[in-house]
Structure 1
């Protein structure tokens, strides 16, 4: 065996080892929960209270609920990082406009038990929606949460959906950030947003920032195109993925207010 052949075999072995490690530990790269317990709801959002609900696989999850006066509840599904405390500014802004709000945390987030997976997050969202009972609900999904509420809408149709910084599927977002990796081949969790949104019958608002480098704007626009004539878009000029304006800025909150007005007609 020549030196060049041995070197090539070592390189191949190292690459295979790295791919195997990515396969095993990929969910630690996808899901970045802040698992620390959060404070009581009323300490963070005025008028809020702590609630719990149980998933289909037996996990008891904590969330924050804020009563409202408009007859519309906004179910907020967060992104892949942090916990519900990070989304409190959005809950406060929506509450100030009269909406009831259920600010959920997934399994493994915000002191909740369990480990996040695509199927697990779907069960969490189903339990959150069922907790609200027979009421008019708008789903708000942030980034990864846009995938969660899109799938939820296929089983529990909402009055409408606001998808903030959605990707077409997780592999497309992964390729944008890791173009040198065979992301689509490696991924266990898929989150096919564009495929699912084609079958959702409710009106959709897609909100995205023009300077988003985590979920490129072209992916969010593709989601809106997949939704067809049911979709409207809100483009936030100059905004990146995690900018404060994308959390509870006027464009984001206004998208919910506008959608609620249209679905109430």
Structure 2
């Protein structure tokens, strides 16, 4: 019974979107443009493009597995204060975005957003930033392109690795349709990689991220935030210091 439930309801366990009416009006403290990117037939990705005067570059931000842009858009504000433009997308079925959920679909949409930015910025101005679920997606894009850098906040070795820890007695490798193998993407990424993870993370265990050190990548910096959880790293000086160093 548990095995069947995991297989048939895994999308409801992994993805926790909230939806918005198509005429919903976003309100933020900074200038932004709302975009609808038709990435493929029957798939439209809602994005917000925040802009500042004389930006140092642009951050392509991939958010976590819950909510929508009405919540995640506020994340852009701290980056804007550091003089970076930000493009942040809602995944398929999130917010106003449409399309059928699939791991490959996530990757295609992410690459489409990257290609969109290439029409407005040089590649060495693009910083990829992934948080939680978005870390695997950001790592994928980094493996296929040559951005300035990749920043991963609370990443996982793979979704499969997290699932094995959560359901140790189940054959999750056979059941899981979504793997997001970050460990496969990082060795193919030539840019500087910064990983930030808290030791008290109860959603994505610190140990899952720590396994990425076993890849022994010379371009990877791993920052441990002692006592940091999944949603509170911004409260810690170690997190703020490394973000400032990456985006100075």
Does TM, scored on the shorter chain, surpass 0.5? yes
- Tell me which residue corresponds to 1:151: 140
2:31 aligned counterpart, secondary structure: coil
2:8 aligned with 1:19:
no
Match of 1:194 in 2: 183
Structure 2 Cα separation of the partners of residues 110 and 45 of structure 1: 20
Q: Which has the larger share of helix?
A: 1
- Who is 2:117 aligned against? 132
Asked if residue 66 in structure 1 is aligned to residue 50 in structure 2, the reply is: yes
Poorly superposed stretches of 4+, deviation over 4 Å: 248-254
Q: CA separation of 1:253/1:125 partners in 2, compared to 1, >3 Å: closer, same or farther?
A: farther
Q: So what's the TM-score if we normalise by structure 1? A: 0.83
CA-CA distance at 1:251 after TM superposition: 4.5
1:32-69 per-position Cα deviation (integer Å, ceiling 9, x unaligned): 1112248534x124112212212144522111111133
2:212 equivalent to 1:228? no
Is the contact made by 1:236 and 1:251 (CA closer than 8 Å) also made in structure 2? yes
Q: Which runs of 5+ in 2 are unaligned?
A: none
C-alpha contact (below 8 Å) 2:144/2:189 kept by paired residues: no
Give structure 1 stretches of 5+ with no counterpart.
1-14
The structure 1 residue matched to 2:157, chosen from 158, 165, 168, is 168
Matched, 1:55 2:39: yes
14, 35, 39: which one aligns with 2:19: 35
Cα RMSD over matched residues?
2.1
The C-alpha deviation readout for 1:51-99, integer Å capped at 9, x for no partner, is 2212144522111111133331001001111112322332000001100
- The reply on whether 1:257 has 2:244 as its aligned counterpart is yes
